[in-house]
Chain A
Amino acid sequence: MLDLVLSYLDLITEENIWYVITTLFFVLLITLPLFGAVAYLTLAERKVIGWMQLRHGPLYTGWWGIGQPIADAIKLMFKEPTIPEKSNLIVYILAPVMVLVPAVVAWAVIPFDANWVLADINLGVVYLMAVSSLGVYGILMAGWASNSKYPFLGAVRSGAQMVSYEVSMGLCLLSVILLAGSMNLSEIVLAQQGMWNAVTLFPMFIVFLISILAETNRAPFDLPEAEAELVAGYNVEYGSMPFAMFFLGEYANMILMSAFASIMFLGGWLPPLDIWPLNLIPGIFWFFGKIAAVLFFFLWARATLPRFRYDQLMRLGWKVLLPFTLLWLVGQAFIMKLMQVGWV
């Protein structure tokens, strides 16, 4: 037994240690800016929605409201975390973690530029799908463990909604995979060199945008937290840092989905056209620009659209998007086969 344990000490070599340290460095390089982005996404949200509604948004914390996210974060940190007496302690505490972790872990496979990716695995799309489908657990656990009506209702709504829209989202991704012939995210980006998928698969792009709105529980599909009927849904009973973690998770998920959409449909780090002034700009800026554009769409939708009713949401998911994406996928495969044979 001791020999066995000692034999594992051989794993500690200089090479391995460096490997671990560099990986950790890259992980931090991704996550820390991500949290920063989350913080300023909240500010952007308030500003954008403010302007759309002819308001100013935050103004007084720092110049142009720039210190507002930091002030919010500090406020949340210094609040007292409360735990409801009848809650299920372990699940209650675990829930926010389960929301945040998948949203962060998923970034491992996102390519920021050519060869700028932490883990370049062949099944990037499947990995992203798998990880993003885990977020629902945090919400369900939170709703159940709070042992309270509104969180419970919010959680049930959220679970049904996320599972429903995952189906059409998966079918959208399949059509992209079919076109690119690969599940590696970098290769999918490279396959869009001539033409973005958003153009060739325009209807699927729209369906994908709708689905990611529902997947992240954002307006107009923000029924899980519908403040007018459920107060705030699954996170009513949470305060302080656990609440902040839900918040972080939700916004990190938004950024993740935007990045996902950029990669799958908007050509990732590639410039729109491979011509002189455009290809001088480094790929990573294009990528961030595209993420920002999709995020703007999120905010735009929230500012403009009224909330869906629950049955309307389900009908849209199952009776409109699902049949449509299925038909599209079959048709696309059919046409691609015909092209392969040379009939078209």
Chain B
Amino acid sequence: MLADLLFLLFSSVLLIAALGVITAKNPMHCVLFMILSFFNAAGLFILLGAEFLGLLLVMVYVGAIAVMFLFIVMTIDIDFAVLKGKNTNIVPMGILVSAVLLLELIAGAWGGMFHTPQQQTKPVMQEENAQILGEVLFTDYVVPFQGAAIILLIAMVGAIVLTHRRRSGVKRQDITKQIQRKKSDCMIVTEPPAKSGVAAAYFVGKGVEK
């Protein structure tokens, strides 16, 4: 009863938020709508009894991934109105493709695509969600699990290969060098004779020309 009501709440807000993602003019609002939709999806997960997945969705997607999205959208300056104005010539093609996909989906729905077969509606385990998930993940699904880990590693390698570069001409902090520096390396106390000015004072140190 209450669960139905909550389902209604979560799913309707989810749909509205998802609509907001694609209709909002400001990209920042798009991302915020996306976060809202993640939240409601997490709510749906929890309603289904998969609390661990729900909380993980909040932790990983909302807490980390969407933050990166927000970051990127914040730091690049895109004006969606300009973008939209440019691409009018592909609109008919887009409509055509969407229409075909829509027809396919309607045909699919006709064939019972969205009806869940009976064997699938097993009661979700209430107790120790995470433990059960872990046991399955490390036994039956160990290959895809490890495979996914390797994919992440590849993505990391890729990010480094494609973006990391050692620029020359940049001053870098070298901690060991800093620590090993002694007073005598960089400082000298002199007593220049009076009235001879700066010329008589000299300064020597590592990396400093006289």
Contacts and interface: CB of A to CB of B under 8 A. Distances in A.
Q: Do chains A and B touch in the complex (CB under 8 A)?
A: yes
Interface in B8-24: none
Interface in A80-136: 88, 91, 121-123, 126-127, 129-131, 133-134, 136
Residue of B26, B74, B129 most packed against chain A (CB within 10 A): B74
Given A88-B28, A121-B51, A152-B74, A159 B1 contact: no
Interface string A317-338: 0000000000000000000000
A130 B63 contact: yes
A40 interface: no
B51 A123 contact: yes
Interface residue tally on A, bucketed by range: 20 to 34
Contact of B74 (A131, A144, A162, A311): A144
Nearest to B73: A144
Contacts of B71: 140, 156, 159-160
A166 B26 contact: no
Interface in A19-36: none
B35 A130 contact: no
B24 to A, nearest CB: 11
B67 A136 contact: yes
Given A91-B32, A126-B56, A130-B55, A8 B5 contact: yes
Interface residues of B, number: 27
By DSSP majority rule, is chain B's interface helix, strand, loop, or mixed?
A: helix
A134 B74 CA distance: 17
Contacts of A88: 26, 28
Given A123-B52, A152-B74, A183 B67 contact: no
A159 B70 contact: yes
Interface in B67-95: 67-68, 70-71, 74-75
Interface of B: 1-2, 5, 26, 28-29, 32, 35, 51-52, 55-56, 58-59, 62-64, 67-68, 70-71, 74-75, 128-130, 173
Given A122-B128, A129-B59, A141-B32, 20 more contacts: A10-B1, A88-B26, A88-B28, A122-B51, A122-B130, A123-B130, A126-B56, A126-B130, A130-B62, A131-B58, A136-B63, A137-B35, A140-B70, A143-B74, A144-B70, A156-B75, A163-B63, A166-B63, A311-B173, A312-B173
